[in-house]
């Protein structure tokens, strides 16, 4: 048996925090890997933006790379001559071809489908849920044993900043309850039905009902002006606040002050903001999309994301202090079980198995 080092190259995306969940997940994993130590394995990193065929061959040779680990779904052909592993976040282009951002603009349906089909040669594919594993098998015929369900980690959030706390205090009446939705302004994020739900809460409140307002964060991907128009048309200008992109410390502040995270995104089910909210003891009401109950279990309330009345009713049900405390407690427990260390360990267990296969043929 050979006793040599296994050299892993982690290829990551060159993205900034405005990319949202993709940036958050990648940062969590890279931070954990930087302190992770396992005998017989060296880890190198490189941004995908510098990788072409010539550079891939040079890096593979110079660093004796044995396995490439992509932190994202490949958008181009695997350029190395060694095996690889990759993570898939969702199959949005197949589930929701109606949305142009998933099939037309940027990365087209054909480009996405070609990239996913290319994963047929991957040593391992990591997904966050059994639901997504089933979708991959159905769509592309992948072998079940090569797809590893590895739930996404709950992001580690920094301590809150004071500025946004003070800003909210000045904007919000004392008895008002804040609904929070951190999401980039894409159509599939479904801000529209959340705005409609707020209007229902506003127009149907009784004498004992709470008063709500909606706080939105996230970069504009072309749909923000449409949401602002919707808010104006429903007379909600003073009830909806657009904070734009904010850093994670300010996100923490919003979670801490929110009555609930309201998460109507149609794409998932492995979304990170609900896990963020749970880690900050913020109750979660989320879209009842396929696979969501597998991911969040009894740690969230679920609503029909296309039914504004149902969204409003589920938000109002959280006025029950008993229910709020139960959702918060379950959420804290779930978030604590979803550590970055556990996520990375699952991947390294498969890398250790790869090493055992690699010992069966010459370098």
Domains of the chain, first to last = 6-153+339-358 (3.40.50.2000), 162-337 (3.40.50.2000)
Region 197-216: mean pLDDT is 87
Q: Distance (Å, rounded) from C-alpha 114 to C-alpha 122? A: 14
| Predicted local distance difference test score (pLDDT) of residue 3 | 52
Region 337-347: mean pLDDT is 94
What pLDDT digit, counting tens, does each position of 310-325 carry?
Answer: 999 999 999 999 999 9
> Which among 172, 169, 192, 166 is positioned nearest to 181, based on CA atoms?
192
Running DSSP on this structure, what letter comes out for residue 17?
G
Q: Distance (Å, rounded) from C-alpha 289 to C-alpha 303? A: 9
| Predicted local distance difference test score (pLDDT) of residue 309 | 97
The lowest-confidence range among 46-50, 202-206, 315-319 is 202-206
Instruction: Give ∠ CA 80-86-64 in degrees, rounded to 5.
Output: 35
Which residue reads 């963020």 in tokens?
276
Residue 173 pLDDT > 70, yes or no? no
Distance of alpha carbon 241 from the chain centroid: 23
- Average pLDDT, rounded, for the chain: 89
Q: What's the CA dihedral at 138, 141, 147, 151 to 10 degrees?
A: -20
Tokens of 292: 């969501």
| Predicted local distance difference test score (pLDDT) of residue 170 | 46
Q: Are 178 and 258 in contact (CB under 8 A)?
A: yes
Ramachandran angles phi, psi of 296, nearest 5°: -110, -15
Burial 158-175 (b: 16+ CB within 10 A, else e): eebbeebbeebeeebeee
Region 255-271: mean pLDDT is 95
Q: Distance (Å, rounded) from C-alpha 63 to C-alpha 41? A: 13
Residue 1 pLDDT > 60, yes or no? no
| Predicted local distance difference test score (pLDDT) of residue 36 | 78
In terms of Cβ atoms closer than 10 Å to its own Cβ (0-12, 13-18, 19+), residue 233 is exposed
Residue 355 pLDDT > 60, yes or no? yes
| Predicted local distance difference test score (pLDDT) of residue 79 | 86
pLDDT level of residue 163 (50, 70, 90 thresholds): very low
pTM of the full predicted structure?
A: 0.90
| Predicted local distance difference test score (pLDDT) of residue 208 | 66
Region 152-174: mean pLDDT is 62
pLDDT level of residue 216 (50, 70, 90 thresholds): very high
| Predicted local distance difference test score (pLDDT) of residue 207 | 62
| Predicted local distance difference test score (pLDDT) of residue 5 | 82
The lowest-confidence range among 17-21, 51-55, 221-225 is 17-21
Q: Which of 67-71, 160-164, 331-335 has the highest mean pLDDT?
A: 331-335
What pLDDT digit, counting tens, does each position of 272-316 carry?
Answer: 999 999 999 999 999 999 999 999 999 999 999 999 999 999 999
Q: Are 313 and 290 in contact (CB under 8 A)?
A: no
| Predicted local distance difference test score (pLDDT) of residue 324 | 95
Q: Distance (Å, rounded) from C-alpha 275 to C-alpha 342? A: 15
Residue 75 pLDDT > 80, yes or no? no
Q: Distance (Å, rounded) from C-alpha 303 to C-alpha 288? A: 5
Q: Which of 51-55, 66-70, 301-305 has the highest mean pLDDT?
A: 301-305
């Amino acid at each position: 048996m050979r006793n040599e080092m296994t050299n892993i190259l982690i290829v990551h995306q060159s993205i900034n925090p405005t990319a949202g969940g993709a940036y958050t997940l990648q940062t969590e994993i890279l931070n954990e890997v930087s302190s992770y130590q396992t005998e017989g394995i060296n880890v190198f990193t490189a941004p995908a933006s510098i990788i072409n065929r010539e550079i891939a061959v040079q890096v593979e040779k110079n660093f004796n790379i044995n396995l490439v680990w992509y932190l994202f779904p490949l958008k181009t052909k695997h350029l190395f001559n060694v095996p690889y592993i990759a993570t898939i976040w969702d199959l949005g282009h197949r589930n929701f071809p109606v949305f142009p951002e998933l099939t037309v603009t940027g990365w087209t349906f054909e480009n996405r489908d070609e990239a996913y089909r290319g994963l047929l040669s991957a040593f391992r594919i990591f997904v966050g849920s059994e639901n997504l594993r089933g979708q991959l098998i159905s769509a592309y015929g992948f072998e079940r044993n090569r797809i590893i369900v590895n739930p996404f980690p709950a992001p580690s959030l920094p301590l809150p900043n004071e500025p946004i706390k003070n800003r909210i205090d000045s904007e919000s009446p004392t008895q008002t309850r804040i609904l929070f939705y951190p999401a980039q302004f894409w159509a599939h994020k479904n801000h529209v039905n959340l705005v409609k739900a707020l209007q229902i809460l506003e127009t149907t409140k009784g004498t004992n009902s709470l008063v709500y307002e909606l706080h939105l964060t996230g970069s504009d991907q072309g749909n923000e002006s449409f949401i602002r128009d919707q808010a104006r048309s429903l007379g909600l200008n003073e009830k909806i606040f657009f904070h734009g992109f904010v850093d994670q410390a300010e996100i923490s502040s919003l979670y801490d002050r929110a009555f609930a995270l309201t998460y109507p995104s149609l794409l998932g089910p492995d979304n990170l903001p609900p896990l963020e909210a749970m880690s900050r003891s913020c109750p979660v009401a989320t879209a009842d999309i396929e696979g969501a109950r597998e991911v969040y279990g009894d740690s969230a309330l679920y609503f029909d994301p296309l039914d504004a009345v149902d969204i409003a009713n589920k938000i109002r049900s959280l006025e029950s202090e008993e229910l709020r405390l139960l959702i918060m407690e379950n959420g804290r427990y779930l978030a604590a079980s979803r550590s970055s260390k556990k996520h990375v360990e699952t991947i390294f267990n498969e890398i250790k198995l790869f090493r055992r296969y690699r010992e069966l043929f010459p370098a």
